[in-house]
A and B are shown apart, each in its own frame.
Chain A
Amino acid sequence: MMLVINKSQIFEHFAGRSTSLLKRQIEIWLQTEANQELYFQWLIEWENNFPVYDPQIEEPLNRFSQYMESGFRDLQRAHLKEKRFLPSRWLAAAVMILAISTSAWFGKDYIQYQTFETGYGATKTVALPDGSTVTLNANSRLRVPRFAFGKRSREVFLKGEAYFVVSHKKDNMQFRVGTPKNMDVIVLGTEFNVYAREQDTRVMLHKGKVKINYPFQNSVREVMLKPGDLIGYNKKAVPEIKSNVETDRYLAWKEHRYIFEDMTLSEFGQLLTENYGLHVEIENDELASRTLVGSFKAENSEELLASVTEILNLKVTRKGNTILLQSN
């Protein structure tokens, strides 16, 4: 179909009165070079007919002629400089540059990455474009690149806790999980749990095989995990592997279950902080070292607290997000 655009339509467009439909038609019409020429010809005509202002041409033309004769760009540059540094302009430019570059800086992460977040007490399952799924525990963040993901590499970044079910790719493309303390999990296709919070970083392998890269004395070391292996940092900050752990215990959070094996009350307080954003104060050290054993199902912090305090016979005082635990 030959599309015909006439001058008055183009003029409407230049005047900012074109509809989206007309714009689209002009875009198609512009695919022909002859039409592009016509477009530029009409543009000049329109600018001459409807000028915003009337520029003085004599002086610039003389400068241009002089420039062609002498080749001295300085003539013009000097004029530019002298004008460019007027204070008001300079100030406006500085303000603009500052404001714009900060917004661009903050915008950069937003553009490159998509971030999935869970609030306190919430879990969320995220399907990634490569077919992998990630279940985020409460108070966790997963950052995924928007554009390159799954094309050449699969790299995500986790802060918090999440269970990964990674799909295996035909070309054996690696899937890498980065964590704040630089312990990286590298896999081909498998299921595993990553715990990466302020206090500790742990990886528990459920199925398949994964490689862990971790920083050790200024170098990066690697170690392979078998199913049921748990890697974490010990008290001397050296990574340690525990074999044949009860995998359920590390995955229970997905079903809102909590399995405690000799968990001290202070560790329990830490769990409440991580998952529910609560600040827990314990009456004294003796009480803080009492331990919990058992499996609890709780949909929220109230239910969990209620079960635990009932077993240990504690008195709970809640004030906003602060919880005080005392012996009864």
Chain B
Amino acid sequence: MPDLFGLPPSDDHNISFLGVLKSESENFEAVDRKSENSIVDSEIFIRKAFETDVALGCKLLFQIYYKALCNHAVRIVYSREVSEDIVADVFCSFWDHKAYEQINRSYRAYLVTATRNRCFNYLKRSRYKDLPIESAQDQEASASNLPERIMQYADLSRRIETLVSSLPPQCQKIFIMNRFEGKMAKEIALDLNLSTRTIEVQIAKALAVIKLGLKDYWLELLILVQSTFLSGHSWILT
């Protein structure tokens, strides 16, 4: 990939570049605070990069937002690897569908919304296994930002957080070691000097608590979905 400065892409280079970019965007934000209506412009630097080299623009976005997005996703999916997969998917799809060409707001609004949509879908799919896997484009296209939709994410992540913190200390520790540190039951068993079976039981217990705790939430969601579905189709008695 040709670099903007003709330099081979090395880590050092990326980091220093990111450093420049950060201070730049901070400057822009400082400006924003004075004139509160040009927030999108804090990404003007990236916008410029996209004009000359799309791949560079994507790479910059990845560097700036990857960590924040992973942290954001993990609050809902509660697994590091899943959240990292989701964020990587968001960027791949962003590149594949040339989504950067159609962005009329900030890149970050798009990326956060796309990440959130994928998180919701991930949870939904783990609930209803026959749900068709929506094409990536559908997911991004449905990135409509209704205020309720925006609020929904914080609401769900808070519910999950409350549920996880309600677990007994040992169970919580094991669950986090498994989901967050990506450790398998066997490794945790060694670390804590417990049997593998105990670890598996504790993980299953944690999942069950979360599942039960989210039951009402899914009912609410389902009612929304079903009511729109039913008003469009006449139902048949069985």
**Interface members, chain B 98-148 (any A CB < 8 Å):** 105-106, 108-109, 112, 126-129, 145, 147-148
Contact (Cβ within 8 A) A27 B42: no
Contact (Cβ within 8 A) B91 A27: no
Residue from the list B11, B59, B180, B237 in contact with A53, Cβ < 8 A:
B180
Q: A37-B105, A96-B211, A100-B127 are in contact. Are A61 and B63 (CB under 8 A)?
A: yes
- Taken together as a complex, chains A and B put the C-alpha atoms of A18 and B95 apart, in Å, by 36
**Interface status of A30 (Cβ within 8 A of chain B):** yes
Contact (Cβ within 8 A) B109 A36: yes
**Interface status of A145 (Cβ within 8 A of chain B):** yes
Contact (Cβ within 8 A) A54 B92: no
Closest chain B residue to A67, Cβ basis = B92
**Interface status of A166 (Cβ within 8 A of chain B):** no
Q: A61-B62, A68-B1 are in contact. Are A34 and B36 (CB under 8 A)?
A: yes
- Taken together as a complex, chains A and B put the C-alpha atoms of A34 and B38 apart, in Å, by 8
Interface residues on B, range: 35 or more
Measured CB to CB, the closest approach of chain B to A305, in angstroms, equals 37
Contacts of A91 in B (CB 8 A): 200
Residue from the list B200, B208, B222 in contact with A107, Cβ < 8 A:
B222
Contact (Cβ within 8 A) A92 B109: no
B interface: dominant SS: helix
Contact with B along A23-65 (1 / 0, CB 8 A): 1001110110110111111011001100111110110110111
Residue from the list A30, A48, A60 in contact with B150, Cβ < 8 A:
A30
Measured CB to CB, the closest approach of chain B to A97, in angstroms, equals 5
Contact (Cβ within 8 A) B66 A97: no
**Interface status of B230 (Cβ within 8 A of chain A):** yes
Contact (Cβ within 8 A) B72 A43: yes
**Interface status of A234 (Cβ within 8 A of chain B):** no
Contacts of A51 in B (CB 8 A): 67-68, 71
Contact (Cβ within 8 A) A83 B81: yes
Contact (Cβ within 8 A) B42 A41: yes
- Taken together as a complex, chains A and B put the C-alpha atoms of A326 and B219 apart, in Å, by 54
Measured CB to CB, the closest approach of chain B to A111, in angstroms, equals 6
Contacts of A68 in B (CB 8 A): 1, 55, 58-59, 95
Contacts of A99 in B (CB 8 A): 208, 211
Closest chain A residue to B39, Cβ basis = A37
- Taken together as a complex, chains A and B put the C-alpha atoms of A249 and B21 apart, in Å, by 88
Contact (Cβ within 8 A) A55 B158: no
Residue from the list B37, B74, B234 in contact with A52, Cβ < 8 A:
B74
**Interface status of B19 (Cβ within 8 A of chain A):** no
A interface: dominant SS: helix
Residue from the list A37, A47, A100, A103 in contact with B106, Cβ < 8 A:
A37
**Interface status of A93 (Cβ within 8 A of chain B):** yes
Contact (Cβ within 8 A) B207 A96: yes
Contact (Cβ within 8 A) A147 B226: yes
Contact (Cβ within 8 A) B219 A48: no
Among the 9-residue stretches A121-129, A148-156, A217-225, A282-290, the one with 4 or more Cβ atoms under 8 Å from chain B is A148-156
Q: A80-B85, A96-B207, A147-B230 are in contact. Are A13 and B154 (CB under 8 A)?
A: yes
Measured CB to CB, the closest approach of chain B to A68, in angstroms, equals 5
**Interface members, chain A 136-164 (any B CB < 8 Å):** 145, 147-148, 151-153, 155, 157
Measured CB to CB, the closest approach of chain B to A33, in angstroms, equals 7
Contacts of B162 in A (CB 8 A): 16
Given pairs A61-B66, A68-B95, 16 additional interface contacts (CB within 8 A): A16-B162, A26-B151, A36-B105, A39-B150, A44-B65, A53-B74, A64-B59, A65-B59, A80-B85, A96-B207, A100-B128, A100-B211, A101-B127, A104-B127, A153-B234, A157-B237
Give residues in A with beta carbon < 8 Å to B.
13-14, 16, 18, 23, 26-28, 30-31, 33-34, 36-41, 43-44, 47-48, 51-55, 57-58, 60-61, 63-65, 67-69, 73, 76, 80, 83, 86-88, 91-93, 95-97, 99-101, 103-104, 107, 111-112, 145, 147-148, 151-153, 155, 157, 176, 178
12 A-B pairs within 8 Å (CB atoms) are namely A14-B154, A34-B39, A40-B112, A41-B108, A47-B71, A51-B71, A53-B180, A54-B67, A55-B70, A64-B91, A67-B92, A112-B230
